[in-house]
């Protein structure tokens, strides 16, 4: 019974190259897995932030609905909205104040700013 303690390698360079290639492939797989775990964590955090914001919006919407008066169908039918073309005309009808008013307001604002600067 002879025990073999040593095995001779025919091509040492080939064994080293294959070992390095498999190690490199393992490292690439580990990095890809690490990136996947990081992206999953970011995704979970983003989903949690969105859920919290949605909860806050739901609370605000519920508060808003409680503050609104209850209207019956008759009340809703009596409310008449202006057609869109009339609403546009109302906005177009507004004009900027005359130059003299604008300059007067600008002077008063400058005076207030100077007074605040002195404080």
Span 45-70, average pLDDT: 89
Within a domain: 77: no
Within a domain: 112: no
Do the Cβ atoms of 15 and 9 come closer than 8 Å? Answer: yes
- pTM to 2 decimals? 0.45
CA atoms within 13 A on the CB side of 48: 6
Query: Token digits for 55?
Result: 């909860």
Task: Give the phi and the psi of residue 21 in degrees, each rounded to 5.
Answer: -65, -45
> CA 20: distance to chain centroid?
44
pLDDT tens per residue across span 96-119: 555 666 777 777 777 787 777 776
Distance spanning both ends of the chain, measured CA to CA: 104
Span 61-66, average pLDDT: 85
- Whether 1 has a pLDDT exceeding 80, the answer reads no
Within a domain: 14: yes
Query: Which of 8-15's residues contact partners 24+ apart within 8 Å by CB, and which partners?
Result: none
Number of domains present in the structure of the chain: 1
Within a domain: 61: yes
Within a domain: 33: yes
Within a domain: 117: no
Segments forming the whole domain that contains residue 42: 10-70
């Amino acid at each position: 019974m002879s025990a073999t303690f040593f095995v001779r390698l025919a091509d040492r360079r080939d064994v080293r190259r294959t070992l390095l290639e498999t190690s490199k492939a393992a490292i690439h797989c580990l990095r890809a897995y690490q990136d996947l775990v990081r992206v999953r964590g970011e995704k979970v955090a983003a989903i949690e932030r969105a859920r919290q914001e949605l909860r806050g919006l739901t609370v605000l919407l519920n508060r808003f609905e409680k503050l609104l008066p209850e209207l019956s169908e008759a009340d809703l039918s009596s409310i008449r909205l202006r057609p869109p073309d009339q609403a546009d005309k109302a906005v177009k009808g507004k004009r900027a104040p005359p130059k003299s008013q604008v300059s007067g307001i600008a002077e008063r604002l400058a005076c207030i700013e100077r007074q605040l600067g002195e404080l």
